[in-house]
Structure 1
């Protein structure tokens, strides 16, 4: 059990900086200047860093050149060094500005995780050392993405794990807010690179943010949103490149009455049965095969309809595995699809939203290949070539370009 830190009446913020925010020495100097300004304004800060942009990919590529089947333990040991570089450089930049900062590996707190490598889960964060540093006026700078398991081995949390590190630390310290600094100004109604009139949201609920993240929005890792919601940690997405208030993510917001945003996920493939056979047999075979291959999937297994959607990068692996199956059921594969997910108050207005969506897309000659829905999400799959046009059509059709 920890207690909230108090020092000069200051609020406590856990601030996470991603790879693009720390992508060069110049960027590190800019971030250090921002942190120094906040420090002199009296903020208590705990910093979590990703590796510098491109470093993690470079490290994995080095291992791949040596051995395509390198052990997961050694890959974690290697990949974790990227964050060690960024935290040390940021600490040096703060020290140069007269601020007592200390870089820390996850094992030095420690951050304890499950045993698995490459996708470990945080099980406990010991806060005594962090509390001591904060009371002494020292700014802790912690390596994200990593922890230590019961065997003393370094583990990593999987891609995007630094967001989860930051949220978990904020929860353990009872921080006033967890702030995720990135290269965008907040959470937008859709990807501004596709629709220039996309609006930044001042606030969004955890439920809707989680739906956006799980359906393709890249601004936050879904695990970090789920952790923040479970632990009641206010979460804010801000830009380290531009000043602003960003987007606040909390639970106590008025229920939305329409569509909040559109998430986009490219490179999807649809698998359906190619012969007349019972849905139960097909579903069972496909589920077992995909689970055996470790491939994430979406599916529908109603009496009248049966389909599976996987990432297009897994198709070769899945087809090869299917060919090796005795008595395998032939499948049709339709690739180069994009999933568009409308997130908001779907369940209360499903019929009208669904009808309007199909009417708008049909009017533009865009064929909907597949659809599915839940209480907060209505997803449709369209050809990749029509995806950007479909996003722009739906964004305007549901008034997302207009100030609320």
Structure 2
């Protein structure tokens, strides 16, 4: 008998009638011949009410007691849903996180799942019951109640689907699927039939509210098909699987993260180990750093820029100021009035001109770019918050995301073309691991025979990035990694990009023409560099990856010339003579996490 996990969010169980509607969906699935596990969130606004109560009782409640309190929201929901199912003529049993065997570590408010004991759930399912499981919560070794943090019910549902080897995990929510961007921001956004795990991981990390990134990490790691559907209609929704909807469209989605803050540490000594010192101090505060840019240094010093959530800016600055003398940096600047606009697409790596097309769209919309980072499937630009909505609309229109690609396939068509998975043994092994959310890396690679070009003193004017990369593209030069960061000399920016080593002379010629045209301060080129890449599932939620990379390179006395990060990769440009040593060292320190995917 097939098994389906259904997850219902807070808006889907916000009142009695919605609870009954959720119960009917589960009963219908059971009567169609499926075993059914429901994962239920707290009723809409209930968590907010509990947080308000806690604030009235204590200004600084302990994390343990907050988990004890917040877990009650889901316990109310599961009991009511089970009652509704029983009232409608079927049999259901509600279970807390501890009762479903959800074992976590002891990181209150952000616990990670270590294992799930499925015996009780399987026994109840075999007895014909619908199991109604509390999302968002588990227990640690001391039987303390823990919560999984933001998106915890999504994570619970996909984790249960993985360990139970469910045929599908249905996520019922207040939207009818995944859209090319947030339809509340752009009404012309289009619902997609299929989206890949990698694309969804990037979009989730950028703030797409439909799914949380940790749940997508689980799904990719264990090959769980996710079906995002509306709680209030029978629309087909969106499938999140390995494949993309289109094999030709360079971009599948766009996102805007509104509340970002940019931090730039100026004059960091351009020697091994300094990035490690800086980001270790930030990591100790459990701050999620994104959009890291270390551009090429001049006069023995480099500037390091990165973004953090706006509400964590004060804590970030405190962490930096605590180590700035130790690092030897000359100062720090910040801007809390910025937003991040990104485009994501699985086919981006195989197509040229995607970056220049995005930059041109932003220029034509009058949007100024402050920072740029790229990865194989994502391009992000930091823009003034006042221009963020215009920026999102511009890139959405430029890539025709409102139109269905000509070669788009439905899930049924993709499923018909699928071949049996070759990595079933690997998935089974992972399910036996004692830490389901342990870091899983998919590879450590080196792209050698690369060169680097840097433009210093790039005017902070709209259209500059578009002109740079349109000119380079017109010269037939293929660009790999792009970073734009702040230049501490005069408040301008600097732009670096990597190319194949044989293209360095031509690239420098083109760069010098660009520099002259725009009055830039200098152009530098460096041959014999290599890009070291650590790839994995959900690197942003496993913040230690970048720190371990920096630590290993520092201990090997390898200097980092450029840095670029994404949800799926951490990239560092280094001297090519150190590439083999760096790869060997990284494979050793990450040996326990390398598992392929």
| Pairwise same-fold verdict (TM > 0.5) | yes
28-37 or 172-181: which moved more? 28-37
Equivalent residue, structure 2, for 1:270: 262
Equivalent residue, structure 2, for 1:346: 348
> Aligned equivalents of 1:273 and 1:149: distance in 2?
39
SS of residue in 1 equivalent to 2:281: helix
- After superposition, the C-alpha distances for 1:114-170 in whole angstroms (9 at most, x for unaligned) are 122111111111111111111111100000111111111111111111111111111
Q: Report the aligned-residue RMSD.
A: 1.9
Q: Which runs of 5+ in 2 are unaligned?
A: 298-302, 406-597
- After superposition, the C-alpha distances for 1:163-205 in whole angstroms (9 at most, x for unaligned) are 1111111111111001111111111001111111111110111
Equivalent residue, structure 2, for 1:309: 307
What does 1:313-352 correspond to in 2, within 5 Å?
Answer: 313-323=311-321, 327=325, 329-344=330-345, 345-349=347-351, 351-352=352-353
SS of residue in 2 equivalent to 1:307: strand
* Change in CA separation of 1:122 and 1:288 when aligned onto 2, cut-off 3 Å: closer
- How many equivalent residue pairs? 393
Decide whether the 8 Å contact of 1:236 with 1:248 is kept in 2. Answer: yes
- After superposition, the C-alpha distances for 1:23-79 in whole angstroms (9 at most, x for unaligned) are 112211222222233333333211000111121222222222222322221111111
- After superposition, the C-alpha distances for 1:296-318 in whole angstroms (9 at most, x for unaligned) are 11212232452111111112223
* Change in CA separation of 1:232 and 1:277 when aligned onto 2, cut-off 3 Å: closer
Equivalent residue, structure 1, for 2:192: 201
* Change in CA separation of 1:326 and 1:127 when aligned onto 2, cut-off 3 Å: closer
* Change in CA separation of 1:187 and 1:256 when aligned onto 2, cut-off 3 Å: farther
Instruction: Say if 2:218 is the partner of 1:227.
Output: yes
What does 1:2-401 correspond to in 2, within 5 Å?
Answer: 6=1, 11-253=2-244, 255-274=247-266, 276-279=267-270, 283-284=275-276, 286-298=278-290, 299-304=292-297, 306-323=304-321, 327=325, 329-344=330-345, 345-349=347-351, 351-401=352-402
Structure number with larger C-alpha Rg = 2
- TM normalised by structure 1 equals 0.92
SS of residue in 2 equivalent to 1:20: helix
> Aligned equivalents of 2:127 and 2:71: distance in 1?
28
> Aligned equivalents of 1:63 and 1:329: distance in 2?
42
> Aligned equivalents of 2:49 and 2:144: distance in 1?
22
- After superposition, the C-alpha distances for 1:240-265 in whole angstroms (9 at most, x for unaligned) are 02221111111145645410000221
Decide whether the 8 Å contact of 1:360 with 1:397 is kept in 2. Answer: yes
* Change in CA separation of 1:320 and 1:122 when aligned onto 2, cut-off 3 Å: closer
Decide whether the 8 Å contact of 2:268 with 2:304 is kept in 1. Answer: no
SS of residue in 1 equivalent to 2:13: coil
Displacement of 1:284 after TM fit?
A: 4.8
Q: Which runs of 5+ in 1 are unaligned?
A: 1-5
Decide whether the 8 Å contact of 1:346 with 1:378 is kept in 2. Answer: no
> Aligned equivalents of 1:151 and 1:35: distance in 2?
34
> Aligned equivalents of 1:52 and 1:134: distance in 2?
25
> Aligned equivalents of 1:362 and 1:222: distance in 2?
31
SS of residue in 1 equivalent to 2:11: coil
Displacement of 1:285 after TM fit?
A: 5.1
Decide whether the 8 Å contact of 2:36 with 2:131 is kept in 1. Answer: yes
> Aligned equivalents of 1:177 and 1:256: distance in 2?
27
384-393 or 370-379: which moved more? 384-393
Decide whether the 8 Å contact of 1:47 with 1:142 is kept in 2. Answer: yes
Decide whether the 8 Å contact of 1:282 with 1:329 is kept in 2. Answer: no
